[in-house]
Amino acid sequence: MSDSPPDSEKSRLDFIREIVDADLKSGKHATIVTRFPPEPNGYLHIGHAKSICLNFGIAREFGGRCHLRFDDTNPSKEEQEYVDSIQEDIRWLGFDWGENRFFASDYFDQLYEWAVFLIKEGKAYVDDQTAEEIRQTRGTLTEPGTPSPHRDRSVEENLALFERMRAGEFADGERVLRARIDMAHANVNLRDPVLYRILRAHHHRTGDKWLLYPMYDFA
């Protein structure tokens, strides 16, 4: 199968397909891989259909593949019912993911290990501040944020607290794990963002194995 559309279709290429076509022809990439990453917390709408047709469509047209990746990091709002419904809708639109279906929860163990690694490297810390306190100390676009009073905990203390978070010794929202980046960063979202939070909720795939979950941006 050709890696680019026939010449008769060139005039119909939009700017995204033009970029893909040029990259494949130049050898910049050997194949095209796209993805559709829904959160299974509800039914799809017309905007999702547009994304499905774009990502699965480009993969099909250029002989690549599209990954269906469920971002299932918030079990309090997600259900298997929505996973099934999303898959049904994708097939109804005429597409299929084949062997390329993934879940963020497939990697919960690996994500936890990466979080431990960041703590050991001094790049993450356990914070006792509430969500509201974290918001209030994040600063503004023109003013830097205020470092948490718990930002300079030792690696050993952070490791112990993070393990206790996993063991269920603290209440939901009592502690979070934050990345240690820069509280004066120009991008407000990079001012020590939360990586993990405690959440006692039954997960539709992992059951009750976890008492803390990675944030969407970390996963």
- Please compute the mean of the pLDDT values over residues 135-151 and round it to a whole number: 97
Specify the pLDDT at position 8: 53
Q: How confident is the model at residue 13 (pLDDT cuts 50, 70, 90)?
A: confident
pLDDT in tens, 18-74: 999 999 999 999 999 999 999 999 999 999 999 999 999 999 999 999 999 999 999
pTM assigned to the model: 0.88
pLDDT averaged over every residue in the chain:
95
**Can you name the CATH fold of 107-214?**
Glutamyl-tRNA Synthetase; domain 3 (3.90.800)
Structural contact between residues 127 and 138, judged by C-beta atoms closer than 8 angstroms = no
Specify the pLDDT at position 148: 98
- Would you kindly state where each structural domain of the chain is located, as residue ranges? 7-99, 107-214
Contacts of 56 (CB under 8 A, 6+ apart): 34, 36, 66, 90, 93, 95, 97
- Please compute the mean of the pLDDT values over residues 94-122 and round it to a whole number: 98
Which stretches of 107-189 are DSSP H helices? 108-120, 131-136, 155-167
pLDDT greater than 60 at residue 14: yes
- Please compute the mean of the pLDDT values over residues 100-106 and round it to a whole number: 98
**Can you name the CATH fold of 7-99?**
Rossmann fold (3.40.50)
pLDDT in tens, 66-101: 999 999 999 999 999 999 999 999 999 999 999 999
